[in-house]
Amino acid sequence: MPAVSFVVPAKDEAAYLPDALASIRDQRTDREYEIVVVDGDSDDDTAAIARRYGAAVVDQRDPGIGAARHRGAQAADGEWLAFVDADTAVDPDYLDAMLAFVRENGLAAASSRCRMPGCLRATAMAATINHVFPRLGRPILPGFNCFVRRNAYADVGGFPNVPNEDTAFSRELARRYPTGYHPEALVETSPRRVERLGLTGTLVHYLRLDWRRLRDESPRT
């Protein structure tokens, strides 16, 4: 059994996926780990690229990013699951740093610092994730950078296939288990959504998704 399974959802990500997978492949660790890429019926070379980097490729069964993450978790064998997006690269010491951090602090899950290269809006978004998310009563662990113990993941039912699936998952997980943020481990993720929508537009986008999720979860009378 590998210590860690990296789960990477990807749909038409041929432009970004090589950097993400190279960063995972090149981890400086003696621990066993695996890469699982969940292919969302891509029209490009996503699946072929994944196999070229030694990843196991599984087909996404249901639409939605939550379903893709959960499908990857079901196919993975690791004691710990590291969810990383196809446009996110992790530092070479990410695996060992995150594993040591969660074990030393008795955590069931954690995220870490992120960097979004590019415009000032991207820097501001990264600052929000780095300085606001960890201070919430139930920290939000972004789906592009989420390190979680398998049995805790299973206990809360995994990522739900709803809008803002990572927020919903983080809140439910933190309701039952201790979670946190590694202050030094680092990932670099694409600022493409922020560049397209702007900082305000991106925050509004996620607030709308969260409102829809909460509305859908409200009991019907």
Rounded to an integer, the average pLDDT of 121-136 is 78
pLDDT of residue 54: 97
pLDDT of residue 87: 95
pLDDT of residue 70: 97
The tens digit of pLDDT for each residue in 158-205 reads 999 987 889 889 999 999 999 999 999 999 998 776 655 444 444 544
User: How far is it, in rounded angstroms, from Cα 37 to Cα 144?
Assistant: 13
* CATH class of the domain at 4-217: alpha beta
The terminus-to-terminus CA distance of the chain in angstroms comes to: 47
Domain residue limits, the chain:
4-217
Provide the token pair at 181: 């943020």
- Report, in this order, helix, strand and coil percent for the chain, each rounded to 5: 45, 20, 35
Helices 120-131/192-217 angle, 10° precision: 40
Q: Is the pTM of this model over 0.75?
A: yes
Provide the token pair at 100: 């040591």
User: How far is it, in rounded angstroms, from Cα 127 to Cα 116?
Assistant: 9
Q: Which amino acid, residue 55?
A: A
Q: Is 38 exposed, middle or buried (0-12, 13-18, 19+ CB in 10 A)?
A: buried
**Helix extents (H) in 7-64:** 17-25, 46-52
Q: What is the 3-state secondary structure (H, E, C) of 14-29?
A: CCCHHHHHHHHHCCCC
